[in-house]
Structure 1
Amino acid sequence: MLLYGIFMFLEYGFSSYVPVIARYGIVGAQGFGLTAAWLFLSQWTLKHSFNNEAYAKFWNDTFYIRGLIGWILICDYSLINQFVKHLIKQDSFTEQEQHSLQLRKEAELFKLRQQLHPHFLFNSLNSINALIGKEPKQARVMVQQLSEFLRHTLKKEDNDLITIQEELDDLRIYLSIEQVRFGHRLTIEESIHADCLEAKIPPFLLQPLVENAIKYGLYGTTGQVNITINGTLANNQFTFVITNPYDPDAVNTKGTGFGLESVRRRLYLLFARNDLLTVINGTKELTAEDKTMKFFEASIKIPVVPKDAGSQI
């Protein structure tokens, strides 16, 4: 019972914060006091229990050795106990910190997602308003397409995984809305390898790139604009490349726009990498109607997971 009481004291003796240097001194002093109490109480108990002079002499001769061994054992136990407690606290702190970082990441991802939709929704509603008087049938079609697009996007989260086929289906709904807005001026050339359609990626990484291409390809111009979309799968990585021409005299090309920066930030939050989105500006040229039209190319590389993987990252 005496030893049990000593160990319980050592177990809960440091319930409040004590500086590290002072802690070692307290451990030594505490060990000395507990060892002394253990020695004298044990000596008194054993002598009265056995009442043997030979045993009493043996006890006296080994008194200091017993004390040293007891002090070392008690101090060792106390230090090990404090070290284990420190590890437990450190693990708890690390877990709380990771949980806090995860919550901040999810909040930022949600904010980025919410910032992407209002601009597109505003433009779509303006287009519907313009179509209602002139082409009411087209306006109804656009309302239905917009409703379907919003229904698909609102039920998905950033940490969900969807197949590339599902992402492309949502992208095609978006493009159908934009083609109603711009009519024959917008043409799309799409080349997506069939072997990558069942791979899984986070949602809403492709649409902002296409929206950026439409914005910088059609705004400020009156002619037809062709946007090419290419997708390939290699080394467990889906590469999605969008190329659009733009008129440098009609478009302010400084910066890459919020859409691309939001995608870059989302990729970093999801995969902890800054090299997954690259842009090339002005590397190709074509001449149309006595104008030099430059090309803007955005390339995104998305790590994919197998089709039999779970539904979340």
Structure 2
Amino acid sequence: MRTGAGAMRVRRHEVVTTDPDVACQAILALTGHRVVLDGSRRDFRFALWTAQAGLLGLDRMAHSMTARSRTGPYADFMAVHVVRGRLGLAAGRADVRTSPGGVRTSAPVESSVSWTDLAGLVVRLPAERVALVAAVRAGANPQTFRFLGLAPVSTATAQAWARLSLFLHGLPDDALGQPLVQESLVDLAATTALAVFPNTTMTADYVPGPRRVPPAVVRRAQQYLDDHAAEPVTVAQVAAACGVGARALQAAFHRHVGHSPLTHLRRVRLARAHRDLVAAEPGGDETVAGIARRWGWTSPGRFAAAYREAYGRPPSATLHG
């Protein structure tokens, strides 16, 4: 019995070549940037894999030569995790050199990019979505929100982004294709980006506290979350449906029920997953991992832990019981 949101196709594109000219054309087609190559073309290797899962974009590239390019302003958020080689970016007064293990964002202005024997992982998000998360989390004005630097604020935050990058690129299509999983991954990536890279939420002056929201609005929000649990839902959407601000709704949930709106949503989805486990046909095609992903869990292990805490038994016992 399938009651959650249906899986969506993950759009993928792949180019693997030993011809430098084909590689340059692939980069031009993807980014619109013309690449100038340096050095010997002998033993050249290039590979590019791209994936688009809803709002989340993931790219992997390996390029064995030295190259340089001019890039125009990049309006959306994009972060590169360098796995091998060197990556340089010069934009205005900023000149960032990234070595293996390092990360950096794209520039919102025209810039110069260079690399040598590069292998890297890219995560892309719409700028509007990151600004919306900044508004919910920190009360930032979405119209004026922006990132202020190309490099992470610390070594620890750079490592946090590198771990997230590896995690996202390691997810299979049957996870990335689930709408609820996509929604949680976009929120996770945007929230992490706000903590890792310099942005206006870190430099803002005092932001007034959210106005008080009565319990009746919280109950209305809970009902909205119950009714839309099978759909990708954000706190901003719930708040708009209830006629209040996102930060005010967050504060009201903590005040009146002791947890956040998203915690309530996770509990509802866990209950729906339990219902699907109970209703599954004995010996049928349903799996614990499939049901978990349908209801927004990327990790079957974390789902199993949450399920055991709530129901006192592993989900596999319910499925096969």
Point out the structure with the larger helix share.
1
Relative to the length of structure 2, the TM-score reads: 0.20
* Structure of larger gyration radius: 1
Relative to the length of structure 1, the TM-score reads: 0.20
Structure with bigger RCO (C-alpha 8 Å, 6+ apart): 2
